[in-house]
A and B are shown apart, each in its own frame.
Chain A
Amino acid sequence: MSAETWAIAQFTVVMALMATALTLPFAIAAGWVLARATFPGKALLETVVSLPLVLPPVATGLLLLWLFGRRSPVGRALDAVGVEVVFTWKAVVIAMMVVSFPLVVRSVRSGIEQVDRRYEELAATLGAGRFRILRTITLPLASRGIVAGAILGFSRALGEFGATIMVAGAIPGRTQTLAVGIYTFVETGREEAAWGLLLLSALLAFGAIYLSNRLVAARA
C-alpha cells in the first residue's frame, strides 16, 4: 500500500477523532435537554437536531459552504479574525460534526432516558444541584449510550462524503479523506489506489463496530 494511501487514512482518522471529541459536549447537552426537559418548542428542537440525518449530506454541505463563505455574517466574522474554514481541514471536521451530530444525540438521549430518575431525585435530597447530579449520577449511568454514540458518530464521520466534498473539496494532502479519495481516484482512473482506500475503510469500519460491540457487551 502506498504512502499516499496511508496518509489519507491517517488524516481521515485524525479528523474523525477530532470531530467526535468536539461533537460530544454538544450532543450530551442536547441529549440531556431532550431526555429530561419539557418546554414549548421541544418538538421543533427535536426536528432540527435530526435534520442532518434526513437531509442529503450534499445539501448540508451546501448550507455549510454558504454559512462559512464570505457572503454570510458568520463567514465574514471568521474572515475578519483571519480564520479560513472553507476548503481547509477545519471544513472537513465541521462537515463530519454536523452529519454525525444527530446520531450521537440519539444515542446519548436514549442512554439518559434509561437512567431511573429516582436516582436523580434522591441525589437532590442529599443536597446536590442539577449539574452536579448530571455529572456524578446521570452521565456515569448513561455511559453506555454515550460511548455507543461516540463510536457511532466516529464511524459516520469516517465515511462522510457528501458534505465534505462540498465544503472542503478534495484537495490532495489537505482535505482528501478516505471516502472522497475513493471517489476522486476512480474518477481519475486510479482504480488500484481506490481499492487500497477501500480496504483500509473496511478495516476501520470493522474495528469500530467490533470495538463498540465489545464495549456494549462488557457493560451489559
Chain B
Amino acid sequence: MIQLTLDVTLRQQAFELQVKDTSSVEVLGIFGPSGSGKTTLLESIAGIRRPDAGEIRVAERVLFSSAEGIDLPPRDRQIGYVPQDALLFPNLDVNGNINYGVRHSRRHLPGDAEARLRSTLIEILDLGPLLERRVQKLSGGEKQRVAIARALMTQPAVLLLDEPLAGVDRARRDRILPYVLRIRRDLHVPLVYVTHDEAELTSIADRVLHLDTGRVAEATHRRQ
C-alpha cells in the first residue's frame, strides 16, 4: 500500500487537466477514452510535464508542489515509467536497456542485491531468451516486458504503466496481464495502471479513476 496524492491542474491550449485524488492503493487504475488526459497525468507524475498548479506526493515524498515551490527533476523522482510504445533505447540491446538505470544513475544497490533483483526480474518477466536481442527484433509484448524490467531495476517507489496492452495483439494480451500481477504480488511495487479498456482493470486495480476530458468523472473502489 502506498499513499498517492494527485492534485494536478495543467492547461494546454483548449484542454485542461484537473485531477484531485488521494488514495492508499496497491494498484491505482486510471481509465478513460483517448484524449481524456491519462498520459498527461502520468507524465506529470514522472516529472516530464510540469503542472500549472497542484501537488504530487508519493507516500510522504513531495515530488511537486506549486505552493511550496517544489518541482523535483525526473531523475530524482524515483518513478518508474513505462510509456505506451515502451521507448526502448534503439542503440542498446535488451541487456543494455535493462541495465541502463543502474549503470547511468546513482541508484545503485550493493552488488549482490542488484544481481538478485536482475535475476528476479528476468525470471518474473521471462526475459532470459531475449537478453542478447536487438530491441528492433522484439514483439510489442516483449518490448513492454523489457521496458517494465528497465524501470524496475531502478527500484522505483511507483511504477507507471501507460496502456501496457495497447501494442500487443489481442491473442497475446492474456499473456501480459499475469506478468503485471506478478509484479504486484512478488515485488510489492505499487502501480498506476492507465488504460482505455475498463475490463483490464477489474482483476488488478483497487481503485479506479474514470477520466473524461481532463476531469475525474467518477472514482470507484474495486478490489477489497
Residue of A118, A119, A121, A123 near B104 (CB, 8 A) is A123
Chain B residue at minimum C-beta to C-beta distance from A138: B91
Residue of A118, A125, A133 near B79 (CB, 8 A) is A125
Contact B104 A124 (CB under 8 A): no
CB-defined contacts of A125 to chain B, threshold 8 Å: 46-48, 74-75, 77, 79-81, 151
CB-defined contacts of B91 to chain A, threshold 8 Å: 137, 140-141
A119-B87, A123-B89, A137-B91 known; A128 vs B104 contact (CB < 8 Å):
yes
A147 vs chain B, min Cβ distance (A): 14
B211 vs chain A, min Cβ distance (A): 22
**Does chain A have a CB within 8 A of B29?**
no
B161 vs chain A, min Cβ distance (A): 13
CA distance A133 to B154 in the complex (A): 16
CB-defined contacts of B79 to chain A, threshold 8 Å: 125
A-facing residues in B93-138 (Cβ within 8 Å) = 100-101, 104-107
CB-defined contacts of B80 to chain A, threshold 8 Å: 125
A121-B48, A121-B74 known; A126 vs B87 contact (CB < 8 Å):
no
**Does chain A have a CB within 8 A of B150?**
yes
CA distance A51 to B27 in the complex (A): 57
Contact B47 A123 (CB under 8 A): no
**Does chain A have a CB within 8 A of B73?**
yes
CA distance A136 to B102 in the complex (A): 13
CA distance A132 to B107 in the complex (A): 14
Contact A126 B90 (CB under 8 A): no
Chain B residue at minimum C-beta to C-beta distance from A141: B91
Contact B83 A124 (CB under 8 A): no
Q: Residue-by-residue, is A120-149 near B (CB-CB < 8 Å gives 1, otherwise 0)? A: 011111111100110011001100000000
CB-defined contacts of B105 to chain A, threshold 8 Å: 126-129, 132
Chain A residue at minimum C-beta to C-beta distance from B97: A126
Contact A122 B107 (CB under 8 A): no
Chain A contact residue count (CB 8 A cutoff)? 18
Contact A127 B89 (CB under 8 A): no
Contact B154 A126 (CB under 8 A): yes
CB-defined contacts of A124 to chain B, threshold 8 Å: 47-48, 73-75
Contact B83 A122 (CB under 8 A): yes
Chain A residue at minimum C-beta to C-beta distance from B155: A127
Contact B150 A126 (CB under 8 A): yes
Contact A126 B47 (CB under 8 A): no
Contact B77 A128 (CB under 8 A): no
CB-defined contacts of A118 to chain B, threshold 8 Å: 83, 87
CB-defined contacts of B73 to chain A, threshold 8 Å: 124
CA distance A123 to B97 in the complex (A): 10
Chain B residue at minimum C-beta to C-beta distance from A137: B89
Chain A residue at minimum C-beta to C-beta distance from B86: A122
Q: Residue-by-residue, is A181-210 near B (CB-CB < 8 Å gives 1, otherwise 0)? A: 000000000000000000000000000000
CB-defined contacts of B107 to chain A, threshold 8 Å: 127
Residue of B46, B75, B87 near A127 (CB, 8 A) is B75
User: Which of the listed residues A119, A126, A136 has the most CB atoms from chain B within 10 Å of its own CB?
Assistant: A126
Interface residues of B (CB under 8 A from A): 46-48, 73-81, 83, 87, 89-91, 100-101, 104-107, 150-151, 154
Interface residues of A (CB under 8 A from B): 116, 118-119, 121-129, 132-133, 136-137, 140-141
- In the complex, 29 of the A-B residue pairs with CB atoms within 8 angstroms, ordered by the A residue number, are A116-B87, A119-B87, A121-B74, A122-B81, A122-B83, A123-B89, A123-B104, A124-B47, A124-B48, A125-B48, A125-B77, A125-B81, A125-B151, A126-B75, A126-B101, A126-B104, A126-B105, A126-B154, A127-B78, A127-B105, A127-B106, A127-B154, A128-B75, A128-B104, A129-B105, A136-B104, A137-B91, A140-B91, A141-B91
* A-B contacts besides A125-B47, A125-B77, 14 pairs, CB < 8 Å: A118-B83, A118-B87, A121-B74, A124-B74, A125-B48, A126-B104, A126-B151, A127-B75, A128-B100, A128-B104, A128-B105, A137-B89, A137-B91, A141-B90
